[in-house]
Amino acid sequence: MIVFNKYFKIVKQHLGTIIMFTAICVIVTIINTNYNTQDSFKSVENNIAIINHDNSKIVDNYIKYIDKGSNLIDIKDDKKEFQDALYSNKVDAIIIIPENFTKDLLDNKNPSVKIKKSNQSFSMITELQTNKYFNLINLYANSGMDEELIIENINKSLDKEVEVKIIGNNDLASKAKLYMFFSFTNYSFLAIFIFIIGTIMCIFNKETIVKRNTISSEGLKSIYRQLLLGHILLTLIIWLVYVIFSIILFKEMMFTMNGLLYIIGSLCFAITCTCLAYFIGTLIKKESIISGVQNVVSLGLSFISGSFVDRTLLDSSIVNFSKIFPSYWYIDVNYRLYDTSTYNMDALMPIFKDYIIILLFGILFIILSKLVVKFKRK
Amino acid sequence: MEKIIEVENLTKYYGKFKAVDDLNIYVEKGKIFGLLGPNGSGKSTTINCILSLLNYQDGKIKIFGEEMKPNSYNLKSKIGVVFQDVAVFEELSVYDNIDYFCGLYIKDKKIRKKYVEDAIKLTGLEDFIKFRPKQLSGGLLRRLNIACGIAHKPELIFLDEPTVAVDPQSRNNILEGIKKLNKDGATIVYTTHYMEEVEQLCNRIAILDKGKMIAVGTKEALKELILVGEKITVETDNLDKKIIKKLKEQKNIIEVKYEDNILNVTYEKGEENLEEMISFLKDNNVFYSKIFSELPTLNDVFLELTGKELRD
Ligand SMILES: Nc1ncnc2c1ncn2[C@@H]1O[C@H](COP(=O)(O)OP(=O)(O)O)[C@@H](O)[C@H]1O
Ligand SMILES: [Mg+2]
């Protein structure tokens, strides 16, 4: 296992870079945590516009509920108008309630309201309130109550919540931070894995080293198997470090269903990043261009997939384009986790589907690598 | 004598370019075999063919009586190779580099530790074991490359131009190290374009030019191949043309040159001629400041066989 043994000695030489990216991720999360204390939630009222295509008592009641904690702003129902309002910070979020929303909700069809946000951290609160409200409705509707009764009950339980609002807000804030932390791992995983695995592959693919390994009695197959083992162990170690940081930052939140699903998502993404790094490693010959490739891929994918900027702020063609990369689906998982508070089958299925899509990308990268190697041999 | 390497009719093309042309050589057990030739004469190509790292168009190659295949691990374990291009890991220390390459052959940690230490001692790298390759001078880097190639104590060692661009101290260390490896029982194939090295080191020598072997044998045998023998050089001012003419009429002399107050006389091979020359100069009242004699070198052999100097 001499190759495996020296693999980690080589990794040790690049520990600084790994620590740097991890530190960035943790620091960004901590800064955000301190910035958005509960006070700032209380003192800042969001400017919210609601575009209502569905006239029902439940929706009217919802608007009243949102009105309590935010300033309602009137804007025209027009796409261009939305974008202008968001960019000029006239509104922090626009909530669009589709036609037949209430009917679908009561029929248990899981409809959703569209939320366009400009400022992630502030408007997240509105978003979470919205989700909570409609989740509760769903719960009551399932127990067979009619519209009137639902409204009565929901107002009661939301009134009760006012008393624990500070705690509740704090909870919401942490939830948003959790989402931020894991969304940021999209960048740090891509950066770290492309850098370290790409570098190690370049080192072992150098012509002089390959020649030297070929004439040794170890056998190339065994050497590449040991390298693979190194990649796998390295991936797990780095992922585990991030899990430990998430536990330090978010404590018991990580031991809920929600936290667990975040952790599983990050593992899937870490594996796929390793596969992508492996693919890139087969394409690159020179160690010197790795950091360039690493920056382009990690920053690029993080921007277009909504890891740095909220998706609603991005042009829809960019968002659609980003679907051909695993980052889109990873951010998708994290967003769903942030968006969901009850975990029934309906909520879990799309999350699992995203996990599988992320892992399929991993398999695709491995197949592509094999093709490249075959092509190169010819 | 047991033949450890046998190469018959090896021919290798790179595209349309013939890099090795119908080469026949063998290497005997326990000997140092030299492949001498200028840059581009096909030395590295020959070694890569012997090691099955390159495909060749024609010929038969056997090492230890076998044909080398990608999975001939038993065969590979008996061979050590020091390639012309340094193959080390920039990220690993001197010690770890040697340990890595030794570890490709030797699994037992205790034995390996001893072997690595032996290789460090042989190449004189004791003071540098924690250095990274980047911190080493050219000569030390070459020595590290050698240590990595021979640490597993192979029976057969290939060294491809291990002394290119190396300071004199490292060169001596390398040559002494190779002699020691040979004394300890290793068979050695040594390529170079420095004739002094093969003269000093090798039992048998093959001279290559443009992919063709133009001569093979012991250095004495190679020198027998050519017409020229001793060369005598005399430093003397204002030599009379008559004396030069007279000198040319002496027996055994092939060529007389007089330029910039230096007289060069080339003899046919055979007896020593210095005494005769001195008495000739005395008889003709020629005063000189310096006189010395040189025996033919492999460079003369190369010059006579190819019409050009060994070194470009
Ligand atoms: N990969 C290659 N492709 C094409 N030509 C090559 C290649 N390698 C070597 N050559 C040519 O083959 C000849 C012999 O090269 P080489 O064996 O490296 O010589 P030496 O080791 O004696 O300096 C040279 O003319 C060189 O240019
Ligand atoms: Mg060469």
| Strongest mean pLDDT among A120-124, A214-218, B240-244 | A214-218
So what's the pLDDT on residue A160?
A: 60
> Order of strands across the sheet with B58-63?
B17-28, B3-14, B58-63
Would you say B195 and B302 are in contact if contact means Cβ atoms under 8 Å apart? yes
Q: CA-to-CA distance for B6 and B64, rounded, in angstroms?
A: 9
Confidence of residue A37 (pLDDT cuts 50, 70, 90): very low
Same domain, B215 and B138: yes
Q: Is the pLDDT of residue A120 over 60?
A: no
Q: Which ligand is nearest to the CA of B312?
A: 1
Tell me the ipTM for this assembly.
0.85
Residues in chain A: 378
Describe the crossing of helices A220-250 and A15-35 by its angle, rounded to 10 degrees. 20
Q: CA-to-CA distance for A329 and A339, rounded, in angstroms?
A: 15
Q: Measured between CA atoms, how close is A224 to chain B, in angstroms?
A: 13
Q: CA-to-CA distance for A179 and B205, rounded, in angstroms?
A: 73
Q: Which of A129, A120, A217, B46 is nearest to A137 (CA)?
A: A129
Probe target for ligand 1 pocket from B16, B17, B35, with the most ligand atoms within 8 Å of CB: B17
Measure CB to CB from residue B89 to each of A203, A218, A219 and give the nearest one.
A203
Same domain, B145 and B283: no
So what's the pLDDT on residue A48?
A: 86
Same domain, B159 and B48: yes
Q: Residue B33 Cα, ligand 2 centroid: separation in angstroms?
A: 16
> Order of strands across the sheet with A70-73?
A70-73, A46-52, A93-97, A114-117
Single-letter amino acid, residue B198: V
What average pLDDT score do residues A222-228 get?
94
Q: pLDDT tens digit string along A58-76?
A: 888 888 888 877 788 888 8
Does the beta carbon of B54 lie under 8 angstroms from any beta carbon of chain A?
Answer: no
Write down which residue in B173, B189, B223 finishes a domain. B223
Q: Which ligand is nearest to the CA of B48?
A: 1
Domains, chain A: 2-33+170-377 (no CATH), 46-158 (3.40.1710)
Does the beta carbon of A34 lie under 8 angstroms from any beta carbon of chain B?
Answer: no
Q: Residue B212 Cα, ligand 1 centroid: separation in angstroms?
A: 13
Mutate to test the interface with A, among B100, B150, B158 (most CBs of A within 10 A): B100
Same domain, B123 and B242: no
What average pLDDT score do residues A148-153 get?
82
Q: Residue B43 Cα, ligand 1 centroid: separation in angstroms?
A: 8
What average pLDDT score do residues A179-190 get?
90
Asked if A6 and B92 come within 8 Å (Cβ–Cβ), the reply is: yes
Q: Measured between CA atoms, how close is B12 to chain A, in angstroms?
A: 19
Does the beta carbon of A5 lie under 8 angstroms from any beta carbon of chain B?
Answer: yes
* Ligand 1 pocket member B39 (CB < 6 A): yes
Asked if A212 and B86 come within 8 Å (Cβ–Cβ), the reply is: no
Asked if B104 and A13 come within 8 Å (Cβ–Cβ), the reply is: no
pLDDT < 50: residue spans in chain B: none
| DSSP line for A161-209 | HHHTHHHHHHHHHHHHHHHHHHHHHHHHHHHHHHHHHHHHHHHHH-HHH
So what's the pLDDT on residue B137?
A: 92
Asked if B73 and A219 come within 8 Å (Cβ–Cβ), the reply is: yes
Asked if B53 and A3 come within 8 Å (Cβ–Cβ), the reply is: no
Least confident span in A55-59, A105-109, A294-298, B104-108: A105-109
Does the beta carbon of A217 lie under 8 angstroms from any beta carbon of chain B?
Answer: yes
Indicate the SS3 state at residue A310. coil
Q: Decide if B302 is inside a domain.
A: no
Q: Which of B221, B227, B291, B225 is nearest to B253 (CA)?
A: B227
Q: Measured between CA atoms, how close is A216 to chain B, in angstroms?
A: 6
* Ligand 1 pocket member B292 (CB < 6 A): no
* Ligand 1 pocket member B296 (CB < 6 A): no
Same domain, B31 and B161: yes
Q: Is the pLDDT of residue A38 over 60?
A: no
Write down which residue in B223, B240, B258 finishes a domain. B223
Same domain, B127 and B237: no
**C-alpha radius of gyration, chain A, whole number:** 24
Q: Decide if B307 is inside a domain.
A: no
Q: CA-to-CA distance for B46 and A117, rounded, in angstroms?
A: 69
Could you tell me where the DSSP H helices lie in A218-312? 220-250, 257-283, 290-305
Q: Decide if B179 is inside a domain.
A: yes
Q: Residue A61 Cα, ligand 1 centroid: separation in angstroms?
A: 84
Q: CA-to-CA distance for B220 and B217, rounded, in angstroms?
A: 8
Protein residue with its CA nearest to atom 1 in ligand 1: B14
| Strongest mean pLDDT among A140-154, A164-178, A250-264 | A250-264
Q: CA-to-CA distance for B154 and B181, rounded, in angstroms?
A: 10
The mean pLDDT of chain A is 85
CATH code assigned at B274: 3.30.70.100
Q: CA-to-CA distance for B261 and A275, rounded, in angstroms?
A: 75
What average pLDDT score do residues A325-341 get?
89
Least confident span in A118-132, A361-375, B13-27, B53-67: A118-132
In the block, which residue shows the tokens 């790094």? A277
Q: Which ligand is nearest to the CA of B55?
A: 1
Protein residue with its CA nearest to atom 2 in ligand 1: B14
* Ligand 1 pocket member B154 (CB < 6 A): no
Same domain, B168 and B194: yes
Q: Which long-range contacts (CB under 8 A, 24 or more apart) does B242-246 make?
A: B243/B284, B243/B286, B246/B284
Q: Decide if B306 is inside a domain.
A: no
Does the beta carbon of A288 lie under 8 angstroms from any beta carbon of chain B?
Answer: no
| Strongest mean pLDDT among A130-139, A155-164, B185-194, B213-222 | B185-194
Q: Residue B85 Cα, ligand 1 centroid: separation in angstroms?
A: 13
| DSSP line for A84-96 | HHHHTTS-SEEEE
CATH code assigned at B76: 3.40.50.300
So what's the pLDDT on residue A164?
A: 39
Q: How many domains does chain B have?
A: 2
Does the beta carbon of A225 lie under 8 angstroms from any beta carbon of chain B?
Answer: no
Q: Which ligand is nearest to the CA of B43?
A: 1
Same domain, B218 and B236: no
Q: Decide if B309 is inside a domain.
A: no
Q: Which of B24, B290, B43 is nearest to B161 (CA)?
A: B43
Q: Decide if B80 is inside a domain.
A: yes
In the block, which residue shows the tokens 């492999």? B298
Counting one residue from chain A and one from chain B, the pairs whose CB atoms sit within 8 A come to 65
pTM across the whole model: 0.77
Least confident span in A182-196, A359-373, B108-122, B265-279: B265-279
Measured between beta carbons, which residues in chain A are less than 8 angstroms from residue B151?
A: none
Same domain, B127 and B264: no
What average pLDDT score do residues A103-109 get?
80
Same domain, B289 and B182: no
Q: Residue B12 Cα, ligand 2 centroid: separation in angstroms?
A: 15
Q: CA-to-CA distance for B155 and B4, rounded, in angstroms?
A: 10
Q: Measured between CA atoms, how close is A321 to chain B, in angstroms?
A: 39
Describe the crossing of helices A165-205 and A207-214 by its angle, rounded to 10 degrees. 70
Q: Which residue segment(s) compose the domain that B161 sits in?
A: 3-223
Would you say B205 and B34 are in contact if contact means Cβ atoms under 8 Å apart? yes
Which run of H or E residues covers position A72? strand A70-73
Q: Decide if B110 is inside a domain.
A: yes
Q: Decide if B303 is inside a domain.
A: no
Q: pLDDT tens digit string along A9-20?
A: 999 999 998 898
Same domain, B238 and B174: no
Asked if B74 and A219 come within 8 Å (Cβ–Cβ), the reply is: no
What percent of chain A has a predicted confidence (pLDDT) above 70? Answer: 90
Does the beta carbon of A286 lie under 8 angstroms from any beta carbon of chain B?
Answer: no
Q: Which residues contact B140 (CB under 8 A, 6 or more apart)?
A: B125, B128, B131, B170
Residue B228 pairs in a beta bridge with: B268
Q: CA-to-CA distance for B153 and B106, rounded, in angstroms?
A: 10
Q: Is the pLDDT of residue A128 over 80?
A: no
Measured between beta carbons, which residues in chain B are less than 8 angstroms from residue A209?
A: 87, 89
So what's the pLDDT on residue A168?
A: 46
Does the beta carbon of B285 lie under 8 angstroms from any beta carbon of chain A?
Answer: no
So what's the pLDDT on residue A166?
A: 40
Measured between beta carbons, which residues in chain B are less than 8 angstroms from residue A17?
A: none
Same domain, B76 and B117: yes
